Amino acid sequence: MSNLSIITDAIIAAAEAQADEILQNAKNTASKIIEEAEETASFEAEKILKQSAEKIKNIKEISENAAVKFLATDLLRQKSEMISSLLLECEQKIYEMDDKKYNELLVRLLKKYAHKDACGVIFFNEKDKGRLCDETKAEIEKAGLKIDDKP
């Protein structure tokens, strides 16, 4: 072998060794970068998962509250309609009562609901005021109320 060959072989061997070292360093750096990226991705994925679970929980609570509120509102509406219907029906029955039953009903209501020592005015329209018998008028006054037709 000639000196030139020996020198060339030595340079090539040194260059290959240096290239292998550079390649190994690059591989190590790439592995670290990949490992850090995987850790960051895992952390971010866990964070997103927790946030999503919290959002789902909040949406579920809001939905449940809205459903309960809707059902309660609907129930109140139905009760209100039922009460209104009953009041209209009762009002119609009172209008259709004969005068004797009408007066008896008023006396019963006064005895049941008028407070002792009450003072105030009970208003009747002209038609209903005309239906009152003297006994009912006396019971109304006895209950401490006055009869009037103008509020």
Per DSSP, the chain holds a count of helices (H) and strands (E) of 4, 2
At residue 1, the pLDDT reads: 61
Q: Which of 145, 139, 138, 136 is nearest to 117 (CA)?
A: 145
Check if the beta carbon of residue 112 is closer than 8 Å to that of residue 141: no
Q: Mind listing the pLDDT tens digit for each residue in 96-128?
A: 999 999 999 988 888 888 776 667 788 888 888
Top-confidence range, 2-6, 12-16, 60-64, 132-136: 60-64
Q: What global pTM score does this model have?
A: 0.51
Q: What digits encode the pLDDT tens for the residues 2-33?
A: 777 888 888 888 888 898 899 999 999 999 99
